[in-house]
Structure 1
Amino acid sequence: MIHQYKNNGYNIVMDVNSGSVHIVDDVVYDVIPLAEQLVSGGIRDVDTVTAAVEACQKLTYSHDEVREAVEEILELAQDNVLFTEDIYEKYIGNFKQRQTVVKALCLHIAHDCNLACQYCFAEEGEYHGRRALMSFEVGKKALDFLVANSGSRVNLEVDFFGGEPLMNWQVVKDLVAYGRSLEEPHNKKFRFTLTTNGVLLNDEIMEFLNKEMSNVVLSIDGRKEVHDRMRPFRGGQGSYDLIVPKFQKLAESRHQTNYYVRGTFTHNNLDFSEDVKHLADLGFEQISVEPVVTDPKEPYALRPEDVPQLLEEYDKLAVELLKRQKEGRGVNFFHFMIDLSGGPCVAKRLSGCGSGTEYLAVTPWGDFYPCHQFVGNEKFLMGNVDEGIVRPDIVDEFKCCNVYAKEKCRSCFAKFYCSGGCAANSYNCHGKIDDVYELGCELQKKRVECAIMIKAALADEEE
């Protein structure tokens, strides 16, 4: 499968199955789609392919130019970096049968929040239910479950989530200490992370975070007017002025690594590239600003007619971030971070985040769900910390959720980068986990294209 596109002056050709990316001239770019069927079918004779391409009468290049392009294309095909076969689908049966272990938990340490964010899927921390704080005993049982169900895996991940986790700070500290006590006797290593809105951040908390948290996610939407509109206190006053200095201090104290500021853009700020630039200008070097996913009837929901502008925003942002990178003031934008030489293992490329199998969310009272976005939906209640997993059928359903189980993914060039997208978004859009959220797909494909263009441009400059 080949995907071709032009971006920021570059002719980019992706060989989807091998992961190879090629920057080519106009002649090769135009000849590739005309030669694809022949070369993919095994015809590798230069004269035969050249004659067939010229017979299409779609090109204005000379015979020598076409022949030279065909030679280059055939060489790439011979090296198995163009027109390669899909080697993954035939293994998907075995992939479904593989033994999975739990490697990560999202601990809902607090179903409560001190902000009233308009787009919050957690309903200000309530998650379709009652406000509650996780007790140490429930959290302790969750960590015990993780250790007991992680098999021989050494590295385990625990994210303290909410609501607002800092509203249950003592339990966070106690659970970190308990997790550390489990490491040596069980040959495990915990990687703790925490997501916070920053309202309760202080020096003591920052010191603990820097000592114990491998990553910290800081929620801020961008420009003051954008942030305060969507992330106010319950009394309506904005939170921007309170949290920005704290976030700046924390980012600096972590040497601008192992954190990221995480924003959400909505229909109210379709020019979200300006919010990314604003966050960069505030000094943040690790940035994620992501599209809102919500009920389409909400006034701030993204709409199909917004997509053209959003795609343009990603292109604008890519050019801006590339410019900053060349000027020595680059930032890492989460959705433009892509590894073309290694990247995730095959299992992750095919099935994504591992929700419902390797990754589970735990409510304050100890119930298990496939991930935080399913919490409160009783259809996906999988078990609890006392009984373990009592719905293995849900595990099996998520285990079978992969790029080959989704018809819309099979012919998509981005499938090995997004791994089929978010199961929760699919369920909320179509009522099933093995479909896709189409608006999100369009944005994801553009992000992949922009990320590869940036890589290409930086590589081109090095040559």
Structure 2
Amino acid sequence: MGALTLIRHNAHRVDVDGHAMLMHVPTTSLFELDGVARDVYDLFRRAPAVDPDLMRAELGPRHGPDTLSECLQSFLALDILRDAEAADIPRPVVKVEEIPLSTIILNVNTGCNLACTYCYKEDLTTPAKGQKMGFQTAKASFELLLKQAHARDRVNVVFFGGEPLSNMALIREVVAYALPRAAELGKTVDFSLTTNATLLTPELVDWFDTHRFALTVSMDGPKALHDANRKTVGGKGTYDLVARNVRMLLARYRSRPVGVRVTLTRGVTDVIGIHDHLKNELGFHEVGFGPATSGPIAVFNLDQEALKRAFEDMKTLGRRYVEAACRGENIGFSNMHQLLTDIAQGTKKAVPCGAGLGMLAVDKEGELHLCHRFVGSNQPTYGNVETGIDIPKLAGFIETAQDRSAFGCKTCRIRSICAGGCYHESYARQGDPFAPVWHYCDLMRDWVDFGIESYVRIMQANPSFFRSQLEPRITRSGPAREVLQ
């Protein structure tokens, strides 16, 4: 054996309550280091290169040659160690030859009856000026989904806006068409919808229940916080109406758990209070938080200090989550669910999400966008539902997105979880969908370390939590998260 060196960007150690955990960065796999592995890893962290003589001198008195050799071979197989003279290995780029869609997002109306101050939608307008999608476009969208999902047993249709309930006539038509059409091909179709809840009625709730919609409500917490940003077009707060409709929804809806998405903005960052209100007082199954950092009106965006405080508050709530999980309870914090799912499953992503690969969004003209966030933007489209996907153009985007070495992602320890971050966040903040979300990088690395600590503590106290809480959630989730393996 010649001299070996540690490939630092392929391994990351986190110590948790006496357990030395090593994350294999390329696969997000977790290993617990035993005594010999700890010593070998620590030696390579101290020395830029280790040859047999240094190995014997440093570790020979404590570990036998066979034990050391076995450990070295394990690290070599994981590409945690490499020949010190070996050339760097370029990041492999998977060629994209087809687009295996699982999800189509229909932007059914650009009109919305709210005027939320932080809304990122560039095509958003008032209800009177809203441009609604027609049935022929929606039908062609579903047929494109079926064509691209020929190898899948299950597909998903997402209704988005504006406020999608403002075009219920189209939603009903699509469901009536999609169910028997999918059945002809032996497929199951799921429906998802995000709503501001202002237009919900008992009749609509019962109809959604019958068709097993995956429903998510946009709501920002108690009255004072919610009404700060989520106002009608006329400027009136909407909490009273939304809370009343939510209570009705949660009392009647039985087919699937209902979650809520909260947007954290300047002045609306009370993570603990918001979660307690939405989960414990209103009764949502899960609460998820999304910080606003790149909205069109900068005054509402979280600056770096506010963003850091928000993440600290999310970690405080995460500790409550861990304590409850160790007791076998689930407090419904979806950000922690997702983090622990990534760690438990060993997420291995070459691109940040399914946008453009497993999922496309359609505007009223039938143009195909990377995702719903890009509808109405000045970013390129990738074909039309009538003429099909421009596969070479879309494949070029996905292949470019796989290698962000020029931005420093190659050596980031969370690259297989983050993969550079949200395309739209990068586009909105930096004008480039491939530029990493720099303002999140350190915070996300710390968040993943927190997730590793949480995972280990739950595994030590109550490993059945992952089977009882995370696996059922994965199987009942909405749009599949597509990643290149």
TM-score, normalisation: structure 2: 0.79
Residue 16 in structure 1 maps to residue 25 in structure 2: yes
Match of 1:434 in 2: 434
Shift of 1:403: 5.1
Match of 1:50 in 2: 59
Match of 2:237 in 1: 238
Distance 1:211 1:13 in 2: 47
Give unpaired runs (5+ residues) of structure 2: 1-9, 83-88, 464-485
Shift of 1:161: 0.5
Match of 2:332 in 1: 332
Query: Residues 428 and 79 from structure 1, CA distance in 2 versus in 1: closer, same or farther, beyond 3 angstroms?
Result: same
Match of 1:35 in 2: 44
Q: Find the residue that maps to 1:172 and give its secondary structure.
A: helix
CA-to-aligned-CA distance 1:103-149 (integer Å, 9 cap, x gap): 3211011111111111111258339x962111222211211222233
CA-to-aligned-CA distance 1:171-205 (integer Å, 9 cap, x gap): 10110111112113233322211111111112221
Query: Residues 456 and 276 from structure 1, CA distance in 2 versus in 1: closer, same or farther, beyond 3 angstroms?
Result: same
Matches within 5 A, 1:35-434: 35-36=44-45, 47-50=56-59, 67=62, 79=74, 84-85=79-80, 92-93=92-93, 95-122=94-121, 125-126=124-125, 131-251=130-250, 253-254=252-253, 257-282=256-281, 283-295=283-295, 298-327=298-327, 329-337=329-337, 338-339=340-341, 340-342=343-345, 346=348, 349-390=349-390, 392-402=392-402, 404=404, 407-434=407-434
Shift of 1:5: 4.2
C-alpha contact (below 8 Å) 2:205/2:253 kept by paired residues: no
Q: Which amino acid aligns with 1:298?
A: A
Q: Find the residue that maps to 1:233 and give its secondary structure.
A: coil
Q: Find the residue that maps to 1:159 and give its secondary structure.
A: strand
Q: Find the residue that maps to 2:217 and give its secondary structure.
A: strand
Query: Residues 251 and 21 from structure 1, CA distance in 2 versus in 1: closer, same or farther, beyond 3 angstroms?
Result: farther
Higher RCO structure, 1 or 2 (CA under 8 Å, sep 6+): 2
* Percent of residue pairs identical: 25
Distance 2:17 2:256 in 1: 29
CA-to-aligned-CA distance 1:217-271 (integer Å, 9 cap, x gap): 1111123211111111223222222222433443455559543211110122334
Match of 1:56 in 2: none
Moved more, 242-251 or 136-145: 242-251
Distance 1:300 1:228 in 2: 14
Distance 1:244 1:81 in 2: 56
Shift of 1:81: 10
C-alpha contact (below 8 Å) 1:196/1:217 kept by paired residues: yes
Distance 1:29 1:443 in 2: 27
Query: Residues 369 and 10 from structure 1, CA distance in 2 versus in 1: closer, same or farther, beyond 3 angstroms?
Result: same
Shift of 1:310: 3.0
Shift of 1:398: 2.9
Q: Which amino acid aligns with 1:198?
A: A
Distance 1:11 1:74 in 2: 20
CA-to-aligned-CA distance 1:269-294 (integer Å, 9 cap, x gap): 33424322332322323121111132
Distance 1:369 1:406 in 2: 25
Distance 1:101 1:328 in 2: 37
Distance 1:231 1:31 in 2: 55
Distance 2:153 2:178 in 1: 13
TM-score, normalisation: structure 1: 0.82
CA-to-aligned-CA distance 1:349-383 (integer Å, 9 cap, x gap): 11232322332111123222111221123441333
Over the aligned positions, Cα root-mean-square deviation in angstroms equals: 3.8
Moved more, 175-184 or 150-159: 150-159
Shift of 1:44: 11
How many residues were matched structurally? Answer: 443
Match of 1:460 in 2: 460
Distance 2:327 2:379 in 1: 51
Q: Which amino acid aligns with 2:30?
A: V
Distance 1:82 1:280 in 2: 45
C-alpha contact (below 8 Å) 2:27/2:346 kept by paired residues: no
Distance 1:76 1:255 in 2: 52
Query: Residues 80 and 284 from structure 1, CA distance in 2 versus in 1: closer, same or farther, beyond 3 angstroms?
Result: farther
Residue 3 in structure 1 maps to residue 12 in structure 2: yes
Query: Residues 333 and 214 from structure 1, CA distance in 2 versus in 1: closer, same or farther, beyond 3 angstroms?
Result: same
Q: Which amino acid aligns with 1:308?
A: K
Give unpaired runs (5+ residues) of structure 1: 52-62
Q: Which amino acid aligns with 1:192?
A: F
Distance 1:353 1:12 in 2: 27
Match of 1:58 in 2: none
C-alpha contact (below 8 Å) 2:250/2:258 kept by paired residues: yes
Q: Find the residue that maps to 2:401 and give its secondary structure.
A: coil
Distance 1:191 1:71 in 2: 55
Distance 1:230 1:190 in 2: 35
Q: Find the residue that maps to 2:298 and give its secondary structure.
A: coil
Distance 1:108 1:152 in 2: 25
Query: Residues 268 and 326 from structure 1, CA distance in 2 versus in 1: closer, same or farther, beyond 3 angstroms?
Result: same
Q: Find the residue that maps to 1:446 and give its secondary structure.
A: helix
Shift of 1:96: 1.9
